[in-house]
Amino acid sequence: MMTERKNIFSNGDIWAILFLLACMLIGGAIMIYQKHNRNQPPELIIETVGEADFPQQTSMQPVTASAASRSLKININSAPADSFELLSGIGPVYAERIVKYRQNIGYFQSLEQLMDVRGIGQRTFDKIKNYLTLE
């Protein structure tokens, strides 16, 4: 006597299970990729003038006179907030204020106008002015 074996899952169920397994594998691969690429800083828009002879930086540290040559220039009329954070004395809050000021008031007419942004005073401006451009 032979008994016929019935499948627990229909063909549609099997395809649904395979689809969910594939999604889990892809999601796991994405998580592993992101985990191993967290050490890379976000892509920044920085304009350079002349040769880029400043040393390679492996971490996101503020730019100081000893860390980079004077050829590093950030265009205050087009740079994203992340670019401003590279400057000494400018953190995420001030960087966002600069971008919001530019969006609300319009393009900067002079570098000194940057001091109109709340929190950026003469001392901070003096530290970063050599790294800024209006071009």
- Assess whether pLDDT exceeds 90 at residue 54: no
- Assess whether pLDDT exceeds 70 at residue 62: no
- State how many domains the chain has: 2
What is the arithmetic mean of pLDDT over 70-99? 87
Give residue 72's identity as a one-letter amino acid code: L
- Assess whether pLDDT exceeds 70 at residue 58: no
Spatial CA neighbour of 53 closest among 41, 66, 71, 65: 71
Domain-embedded: residue 3: no
The answer on 83 and 17 residing in a single domain is: no
Across the chain, what does the average pLDDT equal?
79
CA distance 130 to 74: 10
- Assess whether pLDDT exceeds 90 at residue 21: yes
- Assess whether pLDDT exceeds 80 at residue 42: no
Q: With beta carbons less than 8 A apart as the criterion, state whether 123 and 115 touch.
A: no
Hey, which bits of 1-135 come out as E strands?
A: 47-48, 72-75, 132-133
pTM of full prediction above 0.75: no
The answer on 24 and 60 residing in a single domain is: no
- Assess whether pLDDT exceeds 50 at residue 52: no
Domain-embedded: residue 4: no
Which pLDDT score is estimated for 66? 46
- Assess whether pLDDT exceeds 90 at residue 31: no
The answer on 59 and 17 residing in a single domain is: no
Kindly state the tokens that stand for 127.
């530290």
Give residue 5's identity as a one-letter amino acid code: R
The answer on 85 and 27 residing in a single domain is: no
The answer on 80 and 32 residing in a single domain is: no
Domain-embedded: residue 28: yes
Contacts of 133 (CB under 8 A, 6+ apart): 47, 49, 73, 74, 75, 76, 111
Which pLDDT score is estimated for 88? 85
Which pLDDT score is estimated for 35? 78
Which pLDDT score is estimated for 86? 87
Helix, strand, coil in percent for the chain, rounding step 5:
45, 5, 50
Q: Comparing 18 with 73, which gets the higher pLDDT?
A: 18
Q: With beta carbons less than 8 A apart as the criterion, state whether 84 and 90 touch.
A: yes
Domain of residue 30 covers 9-38
User: Strand, helix or coil at 87?
Assistant: strand
